[in-house]
């Protein structure tokens, strides 16, 4: 053990005067063979760790401690503190896992938040699937109409170009103009429906992906649920005697 201060302090004694200097003892671990390391794994982030009554904010990187028993206290707001005696072995590294138990208020707030996240993720997934599915149905249903509209437009164009039933565009009749307008309008509606279907498929897929990511990143509502301890395996052997011979029955739980 040696004494150190955060800055150099000098005690100056004067005639008929005195001064009190506060010194904090710090354990020296340099060059000592009786030193070990403790790695802490705490279930809740941002926890505060105290070792032998001293705060150790650097516990996440592992602590080098003198060999022996140390008092460890882990605290975090909204959780019950955990007090434990940890034995540090010389020239060895030990991992200490600390599970903090939340208070009822913390548990209820976590369940409400996680349940809301999951609910919104499923709603988002449902909306995305509905939009993408409807748009896909529209796209598939519109294929025949688009194919027919293109064929009609090509037929009318060839009629105008060949000058058969329809004269050249400069002399187009009312009947031919009606045929051209009908073909162009049908093709325009079919292509517009196809464009809207493609946009709907993309938008629905994006919403579906967002809901899936939200579901994957959402907290588990049962994260802090209590798990009852499992029963120890037990095997029982029973013997029964029957008129036709002996029977051995083995019963147990695993």
Q: What pLDDT was estimated at residue 157? A: 82
Give average pLDDT by consecutive 10-residue segment, the chain, 254 residues.
46 55 56 77 87 87 87 92 90 88 92 93 95 94 92 84 59 74 91 95 95 91 69 46 49 45
Strand partners of residue 74: 49, 82
Q: What is the pLDDT of residue 241?
A: 47
Q: What is the pLDDT of residues 79-126, one digit of tens each?
A: 999 999 988 888 888 888 998 999 999 999 999 999 999 999 999 999
Cβ atoms of 65 and 39 closer than 8 Å: no
Query: Edge-to-edge strand order for the sheet containing 35-42?
Result: 63-66, 35-42, 93-98
Query: CA 62 to CA 87: how far, in whole Å?
Result: 14
Cβ partners under 8 Å of residue 26, min gap 6: 2, 3, 4
What pLDDT, on a 0 to 100 scale, did the predictor assign at position 3?
45
User: CA angle 103-106-110, nearest 5°?
Assistant: 140
**Dihedral pair phi/psi, residue 100, rounded to 5°:** -90, 135
Report the predicted TM-score, pTM, of the whole model to 2 decimal places: 0.58
């Amino acid at each position: 053990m040696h004494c150190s201060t955060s800055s150099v302090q000098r005690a100056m004694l004067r005639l008929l005067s005195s001064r009190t200097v506060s010194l904090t003892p710090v354990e020296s671990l340099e060059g000592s063979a009786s030193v070990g390391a403790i790695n802490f794994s705490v279930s809740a982030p941002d926890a505060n760790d105290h070792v032998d009554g001293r705060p150790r904010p650097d516990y996440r990187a592992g602590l080098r401690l003198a060999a022996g028993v140390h008092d460890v206290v882990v605290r975090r707001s909204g959780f019950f503190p955990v007090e434990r005696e940890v034995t540090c072995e010389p020239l060895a590294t030990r991992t200490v896992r600390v599970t903090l138990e939340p208070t009822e208020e913390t548990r209820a707030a976590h369940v409400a938040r996680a349940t809301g996240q999951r609910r919104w993720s499923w709603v988002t997934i449902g909306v995305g699937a509905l939009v993408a599915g409807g748009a896909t149905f529209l796209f598939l249903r519109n294929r025949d109409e688009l194919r027919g509209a293109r064929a009609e437009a090509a037929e009318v164009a060839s009629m105008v170009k060949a000058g058969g039933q329809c004269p050249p565009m400069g002399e187009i009749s009312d009947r031919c103009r009606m045929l051209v307008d009908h073909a162009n309008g049908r093709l325009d509606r079919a292509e517009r429906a196809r464009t809207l279907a493609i946009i709907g498929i993309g938008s629905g897929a994006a919403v579906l992906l967002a809901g899936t990511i939200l579901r994957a990143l959402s907290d588990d509502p049962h994260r802090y649920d209590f798990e009852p301890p499992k029963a120890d395996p037990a095997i029982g052997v029973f013997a029964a005697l029957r008129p036709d011979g002996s029977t051995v029955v083995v019963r147990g739980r695993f």
